[in-house]
Amino acid sequence: LACPMQNIFVSLKKALLNNGLPPCFTMPDDKINVYRFIKDEDVQKIFAKVFDHRTVQACHKLSTRGLFDVVEFLVNVGKEAHVFRARDVSGGFRAVKIYKVETSDFKHMDKYLIGDERFRHVRKDKREIVYAWTKKEHNNLDLMNLAGIRVPLPMGFYENILIMEFIGFEGEAAKTLFA
């Protein structure tokens, strides 16, 4: 059985490929009419919190790079991001972490960037801070992997989306350290 989230992303991906822009976008205010593709009320709420116009475009870009093919379902929710399980074209699993931009309730994110020379030129704009945060997490995971620390292997990022190795067994996500 296909889950509702998977059907949404397949529909959006086809729309992006066919038209360059999904028909569910209303351009004047960049709001997504999620009801066009989503009938399940719980899925509508998740979609509305995470997927603004630019995030859907970023998903498409990462997908066309081959980092994943289909986003399947929500794995975990945090105060700053949602993590989804995705599959690549060969059927392998990926973790897709999408940082919330418009609906983020993670206060003072910029304080975590202060003192890191790699991010000294980041503006105080919320979107730019979230993008820098995504890049920082990717770079830190990369550094930890190089040091031999067992963390998810980062595979790529773009704007507010980080693609990582999926940690789990037979498609089931591993428990978090705090679970």
Q: In this predicted model, which residue has the larger pLDDT, 79 or 20? A: 79
Phi, psi (rounded to 5 degrees) for 99: -80, 135
**pLDDT single digits (tens) 149-170:** 999 999 999 999 999 999 999 8
24 in helix, strand or coil? coil
Q: What predicted TM-score, i.e. pTM, was given to this entire model?
A: 0.74
Report residue 53 as tokens. Answer: 């116009």
Going from the C-alpha of 78 to that of each of 57, 62, 74, the distances in angstroms are 22, 22, 11
